[in-house]
Amino acid sequence: MLVLTVLATGCASAPKTQADRLREMLEVLAESHQRDSAFLVRLNPVPCGCPEWEVHLEGRWHRAFLEPSGDPVEAIRKELQDPDGRALPRTIRVLGKLSTGVRMSDNRTQCLVLKVFGPCQDEECEPVP
């Protein structure tokens, strides 16, 4: 009987951690925006080892990795920096696709991943709330 009890409790799943809940929340958020093609982003560098980019979804800013690492992300970066390379308090609308998965930053923060195709031109993008 003792052996059965040990085996039965060994199969029980561990309670979800805060990190698990956060990852699931970000995955649900990303999934709910899979049909979106335009996103509002801003450059907001911080010294914590997390991505310097943020994407605006459902009224909140979320840390995000922007891909690919070269163009068009570098062109967008230049638009959002002053001549000395400091981030300006500006946003820009971009065409892109949000990944359904999340990525861990250097400081172990779970972040969204946005594949950027380029900045929106004129009426190319629908309004972003």
Q: What is the pLDDT of residue 50?
A: 93
Q: What is the pLDDT of residues 100-125, one digit of tens each?
A: 989 999 999 999 999 999 998 876 67
Predicted confidence at residue 14, as pLDDT, reads 74
Which structure tokens are listed for 52? 């310097």
Q: What distance in Å separates the CA atoms of residue 84 and residue 76, rounded to the nearest whole number?
A: 15
Q: What is the pTM of this model?
A: 0.82
Nearest of 109, 91, 94 to residue 26 by alpha carbon: 109
Sign of CA dihedral 56, 61, 67, 70: positive
Return the number of other C-beta atoms located less than 10 Å from residue 77's C-beta.
16
Instruction: Name the token pair of 2.
Output: 């003792």
pLDDT in tens, 1-53: 544 454 555 555 678 898 889 899 999 999 999 999 999 999 999 998 999 99
Cα 10 from Cα 95, distance rounded (Å) = 48
